[in-house]
A = this chain, B = another copy of it.
Amino acid sequence: MRAGRKEGPPVAVTIKDVAKRANVAASTVSRVIANSSKISPGTARRVREAITELDYNPNYHARSLVKNTTNTIGIVMPRSAQSTFQNPFFPEVIRGITSEIHDKDIGMYLSTGQTEDEIYNEVVKMVVESRVDGIILLYSQENDRIMPFLLEKNFPFVLIGRPSAQLDQISYVNNDNVKAGGMLTEYLLLLNHKKIGFIGGNENSMVTKDHLEGYSNALAKRAVPFREEYVVYREEIKEGGQEAAIELMSLSSPPTAIIAADDMMAFGVLRMIQDMNKKVPDDVSIVSFNNFMLSELSTPPLTTVDIHIFDLGARAAESLVDLMYSGNKDIQHTIVPHHLVKRESCTVWN
């Protein structure tokens, strides 16, 4: 279905009205708006007066039409973020983006699609109808149609995360998730844990793959065997952690420490472990990724790695603005640092 026609509200004041009022031609008005150098102070003043008196604002579409620029960027979220925009990750990224563009007169257009097709079609519309000047992709998955499309159209975009291919053609900003996963694992190892469970998010997402790689690297380095049964995947943000905890803890030799895909998962794990009448961290240690705001308010407060989500968004916006307006078409790869936030959900294993 397509929305119907709008009854035009009181016709807006146009550039001609201003011109008439100031006794000049429309083009002159246009020039003072553009701050054209060659304009006499006198007329400039007169025009400006007329503008304020009439409360004139240039029509966005007319301007976009002729300049072929929209001054807005599109944000594309994954399907799963739509169903769970609940994941604080996305709002926080958007905050970061916002911080970077709010004073640059750049607007933000949000995708609303809820299926892969809907999202793809929205992206197509954004670019081919010239709705936006550039796009920030909030996710990457293997075999996705969006990036190939954008690449083919040669349309400016930056990805938050890691592309699964064509690294050298895609601007992205990401964390070093392999390293982060490794660090967390090593931390647990140093705490003397040998049986470490790993709860991944979407099995096909790059983050998950990278975390897992870091995990297994760290294990290998300390000659701790990698055990299949310690690795489980859950996508559902709410029940995921709880279910994974059940799966892990019901093993004949359950882990003494668990790495959760993110703090939301960790909350679920925490809840479930406590429901089992076990203590965190005494009976099982928990660590996770992201450092959401609430992580420090849980019981016990969560040890987690802060990946600076806000910065992810801000840097992405920065790169994109560069790509769109600076003429600099160089591909940029930005790695946002992470750091461990030690709190009280981990302890030494006897």
Q: Tell me if A271 is interfacial: C-beta within 8 Å of chain B.
A: yes
Of B92, B154, B321, the contact of A9 (CB 8 Å cutoff): B154
- Interface-facing stretch out of A16-24, A125-133, A251-259, A331-339: A125-133
Q: What number of copies of this chain does the assembly contain? A: 2
Q: Are the C-beta atoms of A98 and B112 separated by less than 8 Å?
A: yes
CA distance A68 to B131 in the complex (A): 15
Q: Tell me if A282 is interfacial: C-beta within 8 Å of chain B.
A: no
Please give, as numbers and ranges, the residues of chain B lying within 8 Å of A85 by CB-CB distance. 91-92, 94-95, 98
Of B83, B95, B103, B267, the contact of A297 (CB 8 Å cutoff): B267
Q: Tell me if A289 is interfacial: C-beta within 8 Å of chain B.
A: no
Q: Tell me if A41 is interfacial: C-beta within 8 Å of chain B.
A: no
Of B3, B59, B82, the contact of A130 (CB 8 Å cutoff): B59
Q: Are the C-beta atoms of A109 and B107 separated by less than 8 Å?
A: yes
| A297 vs chain B, min Cβ distance (A) | 4
Q: Which residues of A contact B (CB under 8 A)?
A: 1-10, 12, 55, 57-62, 64-65, 67-72, 82-83, 85-86, 88, 90-92, 94-95, 98-99, 101-110, 112-114, 118, 124-125, 128-131, 133, 153-155, 237-238, 241-242, 264, 267-268, 270-271, 274, 293-294, 296-299, 301, 321, 324-327
Cross-chain pairs A/B with CB under 8 angstroms, 28 sampled? A2-B105, A3-B104, A3-B133, A3-B321, A3-B325, A4-B325, A5-B69, A6-B67, A6-B68, A9-B153, A57-B124, A57-B125, A57-B128, A58-B129, A60-B129, A60-B130, A85-B94, A85-B95, A85-B98, A88-B91, A91-B91, A98-B112, A99-B114, A103-B118, A107-B131, A108-B109, A238-B297, A264-B293
